[in-house]
Amino acid sequence: MRKRSKKRGSSSARATVKNPSPCGNESSENRKRRASKILTELRKSYSDADCALSRDNPFQLLIATILSAQSTDETVNKVTPVLFAKFPSAQALARAPRDEIERIIHATGFFRQKAKSIQGTALKIVEDFGGDVPQTLDELTTLPGVARKTANVVLGTAFGINEGVVVDTHIGRLAWRLGLTWNARDTKDAVKIERDLMEVIPRKEWTFIGHALIQHGRKICSARKPKCDGCSLVKHCPSAYTFDPA
């Protein structure tokens, strides 16, 4: 006899095991129409949606985004003012004492690797890009600690260049619940989630949709207890009211 999982009753477990959306039965045309309605509602609710990381220029956004891995925006925003006051440019950070960088960013976690990455990134920007943050995906992903997600954040937010859609935990969860991904294995399948979102969301909206979904995920559609009663997307969400109250 098969043993039942102890987590079977939890909404978080169900969300990563069984796709609650009708993706398999929904036509491409219907999905795009629904995505358009979702986008319209997000525009109404989060017209000023932006990256939560504090920054004054593309370099600061790049460094802050690297530091945000396995950390929170709130923690990073407490650390970066100190870091940038001391080392305001790529040139300054590249020649900074490593132990001092580690001390400043310690609260973000994995501080030794992050210090190595941000200093390596600063040095490469100085040596290979004349001190300016590069503006292409291929160039950005040559920098230490920079993968596609970080590059998308910088390109879209700092330069208004839509090369892809950022997929973090909030965006992955909401794309899954809203039925805007149909090829992903689960909410963490970032590559396929991004690909699906790029198919149903107009390119000019790729940066906005990421920022808006993150805000909606934090404010309304949380991982454990989504607030369906107060959700502006409920009419277009195949997962609405399917989660156990807790």
Helix, strand, coil abundance in the chain, percent, nearest 5:
60, 0, 40
Please tell me which residue in 32, 73, 116, 168 is annotated as part of the active site: 168
What gap in Å lies between CA 64 and CA 55, rounded to an integer?
8
Q: Find the distance separating the first CA and the last CA of the chain, reported in whole Å.
A: 30
Catalytic annotation on 229? no
What gap in Å lies between CA 208 and CA 6, rounded to an integer?
39
Q: Which residue has the tokens 């976690």?
A: 109
Query: Do 157 and 149 touch, CB atoms closer than 8 A?
Result: no
Q: Report which DSSP code applies to 244.
A: P
What gap in Å lies between CA 180 and CA 112, rounded to an integer?
37
Query: Do 35 and 180 touch, CB atoms closer than 8 A?
Result: yes
Catalytic annotation on 149? yes
* Burial (Cβ within 10 Å: 0-12, 13-18, ≥19) of residue 47: exposed
Q: How many CA atoms lie within 13 A of 90 on its CB side?
A: 22
* Burial (Cβ within 10 Å: 0-12, 13-18, ≥19) of residue 163: buried
What gap in Å lies between CA 156 and CA 165, rounded to an integer?
9
Please tell me which residue in 114, 124, 149, 189 is annotated as part of the active site: 149
List the catalytic residues: 149, 168
